[in-house]
Structure formats: structure tokens, C-alpha cells
Amino acid sequence: MTDMAAAAPRGRLVPLLPALICTAVFIAALSSLLVDSLVSGGTWSLQHYRRFVSDPVYFAYLLRSIRVGVFTTIGAIVVGYAMAYWMAHGSALVRRTLLLLTIFQFFTVTITKVYAILLVLGNNGLINRALIALGLRDTPLPLVNNELGVVIGLIAASLPFAVLPIFSTMMGMRMSLIEAAATLGANRMIVFRRIILPLSMPGVVAGAVLVFLYSLGGLITPALIGGGFVDLIASFSYEQALLLSNPGFAAAGAVVTLSAAFLMVLGLELVHRRLRREP
């Protein structure tokens, strides 16, 4: 009995080993990043942070990245919510088809998705060719090599991160609540505003966090769609660490970015808690 009692806790720890290893690697990576950002010339210093915050060029990278992340999150949540609602309340064929297309994006290489987006947004892409063919424009609409194109591209690339959490939350709703509201005379708009939307907010918040973090760390999508005209914090860190051999400065920029991301996520969580308290 003693051996069995001693083996039981060890048996319960075995399934947790992968999670513990991933957590340890994650903490070690963040610790190394923080140490690199605080070392300058072999001594502890805040020089990298002072340089990053005081230089308007570098600080503009962070502000532009946050702006792009916010617009990407808003767009992805709006489109993703519509898709998730359609999947949850549509026919079984619609649900399976959209779910398959959404999951398929996870198995598609990022650069392949970006080139597919360029085929739609480019000067000779589907959108511009259609606008010119319909006589709505004489020249192509500038949808690439600018911030708008980067936002649209990031929305398309990050859409699964918005759709799946919202869809999962909607599928977990009790249909009896919706049926009871309809029986009491509530129309679709009231049912959506008073029941579906509040109950789906956990999925909305989770999706918003995932999309924002994805867009904040995006490198390939902004580089290819932006054409080098839209400098974000990820490209800054890449250039400083690998091209300019300045890992300490790159680490400082990454730490500042992570701090900004943490504050944004904290703000979303506070908004979510406040909405839950409201009747």
C-alpha cells in the first residue's frame, strides 16, 4: 500500500511533464531576454531602454505596431464573430465547411497565405481587376505597400484565432435560453443583444488577445505586404538582433513590446469583468 501511495503522485505528474517543460523553456527564454536588455558593455545598465524610449524613430515602431494591432484585432473580431455566428447557427454543411476552412489555415505555411493575400490585394489582384472591369476605378486601388494593406493582411492571417474561441463559446451556450426568450416574444435582435452577445464575450476576449498578440509579433506578413514601407516592432527586433548584431537593444525593444502587450491584455480582461458585472 505504501508503494502504491507513493507511486500515485508520481503517476499524476507524468501527464504534466510536457507542460512543465514548456513552461520552464518559456521562463528561461524570457529571463534571458530580460538579462540581455539590462546588460550594456558588460555591465548592468538601462541604456538600451533609455535609447529606445528617447529615440522618436524607434518609439514610433512601437506605436505603429500597437495601432496596427488594435485595428487588426477590431477587424478580425468583427469578421470572426460573423463567421462564428454563421457556423454556430447555420446548417451542418455550413458549419463543417467553414470549420474545415478555418482549421486548414493552421496547416498552411505563412508565406503561402501571404502570397494568396497578395493575389487578392495586389495592383493586379482580384479586387483591383474587378474594380477596373466594373468601371469603378481607372487606376489600381493602393492596397499593398501601406499600413492599410498590412492590417487587411493580418486580419486575413489571424482570422482563425478569432473564429475558433468565439465559435467554441457559442456552441457551449444552452439553446434553452434562446428558445425561452423567443417563446416570451423576444425578437432576434433582443435575443442577440441580451443573451448571445453577453454569453459569447469570453470567446471574444480570448480571440482579441490571441489576434492582438499575433499581429504584434507578426514579421513575414507586414514585411511582404508592406513592401518595406511599414516598419513594425518585429522587423525592428529582427534587424537589430540579426543584421546589426545588437541583441541587447533588440531585447530591450522586445521587453517594452511585451510590457505593452501585457497592459493591453490586462485592459481587455478588466473590460470583460466589467461587462460581466453589468446586468
Cα separation of 114 and 120, whole Å?
A: 10
Segment holding 40, helix H or strand E: strand 39-40
Name the nearest CA neighbour of 123 among 159, 149, 157.
149
Residue type, 117: I
pLDDT computed for residue 2 by the predictor: 52
Please give the CATH topology (third level) of the domain spanning 61-277: MetI-like fold (1.10.3720)
Q: Which three cell numbers, joined as nine digits, stand for 206?
A: 480570448
Q: Angle at Cα 130 formed by Cα 124 and Cα 136, nearest 5°?
A: 110
Distance CA(190)–CA(57), nearest Å, equals: 48
- C-alpha grid cell for residue 45? 545598465
Nearest one of 115, 84, 76 to 101, comparing CA atoms:
84
- Domain spans of the chain, in order of start: 61-277
Instruction: Map grid coordinates 492599410 to a residue.
Output: 148
Residue pLDDT tens, the chain, 279 long: 455 555 556 666 777 788 888 889 989 988 988 898 888 877 888 888 988 888 888 888 888 999 999 999 999 999 999 999 999 888 889 899 999 999 988 888 888 888 889 999 988 889 999 999 998 888 888 889 999 999 999 999 999 999 999 999 999 888 777 778 777 777 888 888 888 888 899 899 999 999 998 998 888 888 889 888 888 888 888 888 888 888 888 898 888 888 888 888 888 888 777 766 655
The pLDDT of residue 29: 86
* Residue found by looking up cell 486601388 in the block: 141
Structure confidence at residue 129 (pLDDT): 92
Query: Do 147 and 64 touch, CB atoms closer than 8 A?
Result: yes
Q: What pTM value is reported for the model?
A: 0.85
Residue 229 has what DSSP assignment?
S
C-alpha distances out from residue 193 to 31, 165, 169, Å: 44, 19, 16
